């Protein structure tokens, strides 16, 4: 019969061997894989408000109207700001999950916007102002974007008359892509309420219905290197767009049609945003 000391020694040796075996079979530490971000641009489309001016009274103390020439002071005017809800917010606020700080996203109004990086694979809420309470409904919500994707989000007003932008706007997502053949890609988006007739060189004419999107690839080896694009709204007598397109490699040209006010759009009810984006290097 083994002595107690021998029994303890054998037990110690078996524990050491078991620990070594567990160490050898332990799983390796998890490696965090960096997910490439997505890029988005938010662009608001809608009627431009009428420019309003005000002529101040003679007794005003506003330094913008002070003049040594009293007789000309009454003729000075100032451009007033746009009425409330006649224009979209110029910025939206969002917060990345796990980050306590709010970030800004610029909103361009009827103009091309810059692509800004946001986390991929995450739904993100955007607010027109920093919410005072948790759980406040967002102004818009962007879906989870694919890594390394590039997307344009067009906002159009959902209100009526003088309160166009009072309600949360409608959102139209347009993936920004580049031609694999090395030519020029055209993206046509109709956010307006009327049919847009599109004419391209060589007599190709087709309708672009409301809420319809269309992609056209122009071959870089086309015989006619200068393509003419003409667009006209069904409710207008004047054309909305006439442009010559020079085919260039890795270029995407965007034409987004939207509702406009005739008084601020040359008598037309249809306007067009034109933008051009180059393929990322």
CATH no., domain 177-281: 2.60.40
* pLDDT at residue 119 is higher than 80: yes
Q: What is the pLDDT of residues 173-208, one digit of tens each?
A: 999 988 777 678 999 999 999 999 999 887 689 999
Average pLDDT of the residues of the chain: 84
One-character DSSP codes across the chain: ---HHHHHHHHHHHHHHHHHHHHHHPPPPP-PPPPPPEEEEEEE--PPPPP-EEPPPTT---GGG--S-HHHHTT--EEPPPPTTSS--SEEEE--TT--S-EEEEEEESS----EEE-TT--EEEBSS--SSTTPPPSEEEPPPPTT-EEEEEEE--S-GGGTTTSPPEEEEEE----TTSSEEEEEEE-SSS-EEEEETTTEEEEE-TT-EEEEEEPTT-S--EEEEEEEETT-SS-SEEEEEE--TTEEEEEEEEE--GGGTTT-SEEEEEEEEEPP-
Q: What is the pLDDT of residues 149-169, one digit of tens each?
A: 999 999 999 988 789 999 999
Model confidence at 142, in pLDDT bands (50, 70, 90)? very high
Domain ranges of the chain: 35-176, 177-281
Across 120-140, average pLDDT: 90
């Amino acid at each position: 019969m083994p002595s107690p000391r021998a029994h303890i020694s054998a037990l110690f040796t078996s524990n050491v061997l078991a620990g070594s075996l567990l160490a050898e079979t332990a799983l390796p530490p998890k490696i965090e894989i960096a997910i490439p971000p997505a890029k988005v641009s938010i662009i608001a489309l809608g009627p431009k408000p009428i420019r309003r001016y005000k002529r101040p009274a003679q007794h005003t103390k506003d330094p913008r109207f002070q003049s040594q020439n009293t007789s000309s002071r009454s003729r000075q005017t100032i451009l007033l700001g746009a009425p409330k809800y006649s224009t979209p917010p110029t910025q939206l606020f969002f917060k990345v999950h796990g980050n306590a700080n709010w970030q800004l996203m610029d909103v361009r109004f009827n103009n091309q916007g810059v692509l800004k990086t946001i986390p991929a694979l995450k739904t993100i809420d955007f607010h027109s102002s920093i919410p005072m309470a948790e759980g406040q409904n967002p102004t818009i919500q962007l879906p989870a974007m694919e890594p390394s994707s590039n997307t344009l989000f067009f906002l159009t007003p959902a209100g009526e008359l003088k309160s166009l932008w009072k309600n949360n706007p409608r959102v139209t997502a347009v993936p920004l892509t580049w031609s694999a053949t090395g030519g020029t890609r055209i993206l046509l988006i109709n956010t307006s309420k009327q049919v847009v007739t599109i004419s391209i060189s060589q007599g190709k004419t087709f309708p672009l219905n409301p809420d319809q999107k269309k992609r056209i690839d122009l071959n870089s080896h086309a015989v006619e290197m200068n393509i003419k694009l003409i667009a006209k709204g069904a409710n207008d007598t004047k054309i909305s767009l006439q442009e010559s397109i020079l085919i260039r490699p890795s270029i995407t040209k965007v034409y987004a049609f939207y509702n406009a006010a005739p008084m601020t759009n040359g008598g037309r009810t249809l306007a067009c945003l034109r933008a051009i984006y180059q393929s990322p290097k």
